[in-house]
Amino acid sequence: MAETPANPFKTALGRGDVTFGLWLALADPSSAELCATSGFDWVLVDGEHGPYDLRTTLAVLQAVAPHPSQAIVRVPSHDPALIKQVLDLGACTLLVPMVENAAQAIDLVRATRYPPEGIRGVGSILARASRWGDWEDYLQVANGRQCLIVQVESMTAVSNAEQIARVEGVDGVFVGPVDLAASMGHLGQPAHPEVVAAIDSAIDAILRAGKAPGIFCPDEAMARRYVDRGVRFVAVGADAILLARAARELASRFRSECDPSSNPPRPG
């Protein structure tokens, strides 16, 4: 029998470390494993926008587990039943989207905790989360080991960011720039000055509450700016974006270099 290990990502948040991550949208264990060996502190299993189900989530968690990157799972909804299943798969850090107020955050904390602090069903002996009972102290330490990140993605949520962050059991608050931009009438413009100002406001509110702000920002210069503003965990890219960009650049390079029209034959 063994003791349940600590959650390194939660420990890093508590210390105030700055960590960098990569979004996993492809729902493929092999690409996830590759990304987990690339030097990122964490990888995000995107169950909201990626084609994940419970079995693919499990396969990706298994692929990532032996490697240094910590796995975070974004669930697609606030459904307590789904949250319970994902936790039983062995996810110990969750990102939950579209949190608008403190009441929703309180409900999510309860969904991730065993009674009496919460409503999570007790089935750990059957689950990977406890290594099928091999971690003999799992039930006693699981509540404290869970790490809950809630996502603010609208102006309503930003206005409530400090109250959301102050909820006991919320470890960090992640700002969603793209949905926030859409809610402000700037669809597809997360770098719009008004959106950036709203993000800065949310960061300040989260820090006032003593919690860690996070953000997704594939623009390297903006990512560094947000770190300077106080963000503590930053997703700086996504597997799908990296693959698409590299594939397109390679194809374009060879098309331009090998196109006969751009390289007319030399005179004989």
Asked if 169 and 144 count as a contact pair (C-beta separation under 8 A), the reply is no
C-alpha angle 199/21/152, rounded to 5°?
30
Dmax (CA) of the chain: 87
**Sequence-ordered list of residues with C-beta below 8 angstroms from that of 241, at least 6 positions apart, any chain:** 23, 218
Buried b (16+ CB within 10 A) or exposed e, 40-66: bbbbbbbbbebebeeebbbbbbbbbee
pLDDT digits (tens, 9 = 90+) for 129-185: 999 999 999 999 999 999 999 999 999 999 999 999 999 999 999 999 999 999 999
Band of residue 81 on the pLDDT scale cut at 50, 70, 90: very high
pLDDT recorded at residue 263:
60
User: Which whole-number Å values give the CA distances from 81 to 50, 53, 75, 84, 87, in the listed order?
Assistant: 20, 14, 11, 5, 10
Domains and CATH numbers, the chain: 8-257 (3.20.20.60)
- Count other C-beta atoms under 10 Å from residue 26's C-beta: 20
Distance CA 203, CA 195 (A): 12
* Per annotation, catalytic residue among 49, 67, 186, 192: 49
Calculate mean pLDDT across residues 103-113. 98
Closest CA to 175 of 207, 131, 221: 207
Give the Å distances, CA to CA, from 75 to 25, 62, 150, 251: 13, 17, 11, 35
Phi and psi (nearest 5°) for 2?
Answer: -135, 165
Asked if 234 contacts 226 with a C-beta cutoff of 8 angstroms, the reply is: yes
pLDDT tens sequence across 222-244: 999 999 999 999 999 999 999 99
Provide the pLDDT for residue 255.
Answer: 86
Residue 1 has pLDDT above 80, yes or no: no
Residue for token pair 């991550």 = 21
* Known catalytic residue at 49: yes
3-state secondary structure of 150: strand
Neighbouring-strand partners of residue 150:
96, 173
Q: List the structure tokens of 265.
A: 């034959």
What local confidence, expressed as pLDDT, does residue 266 receive?
Answer: 60
Say what the pTM is: 0.93
Question: Residue 68 gets which letter from DSSP?
Answer: S
